[in-house]
């Protein structure tokens, strides 16, 4: 995942609000297109193992890395066998089905057509949009056992909307295996809170204001992922003044515009990552109704007008801040 990806903005979408803990250390690396930070107590070797695991995921899940399997899959129509990637794709297919196609790992041709990899300038030609849409759709993705197949020539996969969640899950697994039960892993604003803080309290995660400085809410969590998708992460302004964000509605082939941001809280970081993108596409009404009908997913929606709406599971624990 290159620096042009979702984590391009170095200011974290979410940040931990915690008291100083003299035995905790924070270490950072540039991975997956952003700064990845691990805050944990002691066990430097375990943290280094977690970073090594993240580096491996960064290489293998990046469709631009010529040493990874997705590179050949996208450019040369080469199917491949990789149990880990196949497992993540299965989760992507589940979330894609649950969101009615709002989350889709085949949107890479649309993102490229709109110019989000190169900066963008104006909407694409309608004819080009129609022909590109023919290459998009989760029904074109095929996984058999550990193998990722390519039944449709020209199909291209981009796992950027789910790979960071997988990276969070794997980093937490490595730390737990090493006996660390209190840590915070921040992958460019996608956060996993492992256990509780050293003082026994929950981690407090601030949700970034989508239009200015500061935060709009604080969410206390333990053993949960907190992931935000926002329209401020990568966007361009067309000649007519319209601002287009990089999160594409795969059903229409156009950037989603119903939200400024959505923050998802879930036990599974992989699902949280995918759901954040899918809910951003669905918008506050359809998205909130779907969250209320889905187990272990909570969400906070912020509209372009800065109206905040939250799922019932966040009631009583989410501390809202005044939006100026």
Binding residues for Mg(2+): 161, 273, 277
Q: What angle do CA 49, 52, 56 make, to 5 degrees?
A: 140
Helix axes 163-177, 269-282, angle to 10 degrees: 160
Provide the 3-class DSSP secondary structure of residue 254.
strand
Q: Are 26 and 37 in contact (CB under 8 A)?
A: yes
Q: Are 243 and 237 in contact (CB under 8 A)?
A: yes
Q: Are 96 and 106 in contact (CB under 8 A)?
A: no
Dump the DSSP string for 75-87: HH---EE-HHHHH
Binding residues: 161, 273, 277
Provide the 3-class DSSP secondary structure of residue 270.
helix
Considering only CA atoms, which of 36, 85, 93, 91 is closest in space to residue 60? 85
- Which two three-digit tokens encode residue 11? 């200011």
Q: Are 292 and 311 in contact (CB under 8 A)?
A: yes
Pairing of strands 24-31, 34-41: antiparallel
Considering only CA atoms, which of 175, 260, 184, 270 is closest in space to residue 227? 270
Taking the CA atoms of 205, 210, 215 and 216 in sequence, report the sign of the dihedral they define.
negative
């Amino acid at each position: 995942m290159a620096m042009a990806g979702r984590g391009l903005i170095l200011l974290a979408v979410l940040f931990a609000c915690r008291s100083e803990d003299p035995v905790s250390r924070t270490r950072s690396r540039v991975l997956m297109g952003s700064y990845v930070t691990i805050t944990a107590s002691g066990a430097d070797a375990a943290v280094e193992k977690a970073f090594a695991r993240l580096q491996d995921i960064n290489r293998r899940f990046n469709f631009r890395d010529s040493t990874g399997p997705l590179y050949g899959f996208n450019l040369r129509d080469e199917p491949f066998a990789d149990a880990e990637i196949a497992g993540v794709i299965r989760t992507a297919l589940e979330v894609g089905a649950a969101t009615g196609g709002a989350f889709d790992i085949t949107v890479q041709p649309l993102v490229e057509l709109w110019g989000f990899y190169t900066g963008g300038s104006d909407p694409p030609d309608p004819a080009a949009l129609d022909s590109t849409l023919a290459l998009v759709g989760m029904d074109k993705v095929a996984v058999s056992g550990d193998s990722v197949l390519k039944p449709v020539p020209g199909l291209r996969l981009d796992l950027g909307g789910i790979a960071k969640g997988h990276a969070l899950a794997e980093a937490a697994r490595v730390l737990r295996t090493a006996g660390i039960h209190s840590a915070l892993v921040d992958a460019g604003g996608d956060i996993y809170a492992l256990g509780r803080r050293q003082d026994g309290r929950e981690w407090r995660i601030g949700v970034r204001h989508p239009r200015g400085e500061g935060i709009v809410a604080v969410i206390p969590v333990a053993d949960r992922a907190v992931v935000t998708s926002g329209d401020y992460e990568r966007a361009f302004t067309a000649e007519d003044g319209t601002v287009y964000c990089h999160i594409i509605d795969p059903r229409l082939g156009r950037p989603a515009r119903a939200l400024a941001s959505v923050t998802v809280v879930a036990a599974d970081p992989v699902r949280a990552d995918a759901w954040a993108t899918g809910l951003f596409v669905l918008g506050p009404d359809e998205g909130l109704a779907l969250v209320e009908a889905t187990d272990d997913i909570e969400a906070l929606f912020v509209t372009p007008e800065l109206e905040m709406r939250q799922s019932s599971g966040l009631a009583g624990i989410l501390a809202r801040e005044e939006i100026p």
